[in-house]
Amino acid sequence: MRQQSSPQRDLSHVCGHCGQAVGRDIEAERLDGFEVHEWALASWKFATCRAARYRFIAPQQSSANGATLVGSMARGRILVTGASTGIGQACSIRLAEIGYSVFGGIRKPSDGDRLRSIKGITPVLLDVTSGESLQGALAIAGPQGLDGLVNNAGIAVIGPVELVPVEAWRRQFEVNVLGLVAVTQTFLPLLRAIRGRFVNIGSIGGRSARPCAGSYDATKFAVEAISDTLRKEVQGSGVSVSVVEAGAVATRISEKSLEAAAGIWRDSAAEPREAYETLMAAVQREVAHSMHNTIDPDEVAKVVEHALTSTRPKTRYLVGKDIRKFLLLNVLPDRWRDWLILKRLAGRRFIRESA
């Protein structure tokens, strides 16, 4: 309900979200607890200004690639972990193009070469497993607040549960799960202060675990649980939490996982390895095949943009060419699903031999 308030004068704030100066004689009114400027009410579109805690109306502009820009200055400040390649890099570029100031987390200085060439992106050394590195990133990205955090950093190792060394399990959880928690704990106070948004990059593997992907899929199940829990815990603070469940994406993570799997296979003892020879070969073929049925990382970046900019962000985003089959498989009884997956991967003979 709108209630008229007195004229506002000399509001010494420049909107960090849309870039409009608020410092002239204007009429303002209250709208659902937010300050709205009368001179803009007629024809401009709403954009949520979290930094100033009011809803500000700003003109729409378009970038060269057709993306919508709000206002003429930076829309806010976003931290993206794992930004050197793949999904993280695509998110950083897309968010910078639509007007955000982006801090792209990288592990080595050389990883930031491409990011440095793009206006609006500041590479930040950030190892999610290092407390010292996190504090260094906080010192760079934190002083002016943070509007959004994209938890993307992750690694993938594939192989049978029995053969993947415990050290590899531990490393994967350290990066994909504990690293995400550490980043969240470090930057949550900044997001709470200005009602920011979290976007956690998960996987369709976080809904349906696949053979020989147990260590990776287990971390993505954990990301689902953490996202669900965090969303409920911070709802009262006005903080949004979304998780992106991606299928096969054209990044190097699949190539790296195959390389890691080859090393694990080579180092395994002969006796247990024989039990998985048919299955592992089939899984490696499937991973290699999936690399030809991927989506571009920018498709994931588009849904991340929606999660950060929409007035009603979704709690979950499904993206990928192959996600439909996983969703359909999930409605089946467990043993039916197991049979279909194993039959597709390794054929009837493997199922008979395993029975």
Active site residue ranges: 216
Q: Identify whether the C-beta of residue 160 lies closer than 8 Å to the C-beta of residue 217.
A: no
Q: Identify whether the C-beta of residue 341 lies closer than 8 Å to the C-beta of residue 211.
A: yes
**E strands within the chain?**
2-4, 13-14, 21-22, 28-31, 34-37, 45-49, 54-58, 60-62, 68-70, 77-80, 101-106, 121-125, 148-151, 197-201, 240-246, 316-319
* Burial zone of 195 (CB within 10 Å; 0-12 exposed, 13-18 middle, 19+ buried): middle
Give the Cα separation of 47 and 329 in Å (integer). 40
- Given phi > 0 = left and psi -120 to 50 = alpha, else beta, which region is 274? alpha
Give the Cα separation of 141 and 281 in Å (integer). 45
Q: What number of other Cβ atoms are within 10 A of residue 47's Cβ?
A: 21
Q: Which two tokens stand for residue 110?
A: 């050389």
Q: Identify whether the C-beta of residue 227 lies closer than 8 Å to the C-beta of residue 241.
A: yes
Q: What number of other Cβ atoms are within 10 A of residue 349's Cβ?
A: 10
Q: Identify whether the C-beta of residue 245 lies closer than 8 Å to the C-beta of residue 319.
A: yes
